[in-house]
Amino acid sequence: MTTSPASHWPAYAVAIQVTVDTLTVELADGRSISVPLAWYPRLGHLTAAERANWRLIGRGEGVHWPDLDDDISVDNLLSGARSGESPQSFKR
């Protein structure tokens, strides 16, 4: 039996919503990705206005928060990749 590597179409974000506990990304193909905001602790430290101040980058391949100067890619969200930042880094 032969197998071929999985291929996928690029996913592009079209809208973002950040609540107190969830990051939700709407994709151009109709899917939605929701992850706990705890996966991205820096976003949790922003005010509601700062969390709402985002822009799409790379035709929707990622999201940028200018108040934080941080990005999250759609591919990382789809793969379940969380921020590598530890709670201890916020204490420094």
Q: pTM for the whole thing?
A: 0.81
55's CB contacts (< 8 A; 6+ apart) are: 63, 64, 66
81's CB contacts (< 8 A; 6+ apart) are: none
Q: Which residues pair with 71 in a beta bridge?
A: 64
Domains in the chain and their CATH numbers? Answer: 13-82 (3.30.2020.40)
In tens, the pLDDT along 18-34 reads 999 999 999 999 999 99
**Residue 87 binned pLDDT confidence (cut-offs 50, 70, 90):** low
In tens, the pLDDT along 34-72 reads 999 999 999 988 999 999 999 999 999 999 999 999 999
Q: Does pLDDT of 6 surpass 60?
A: no
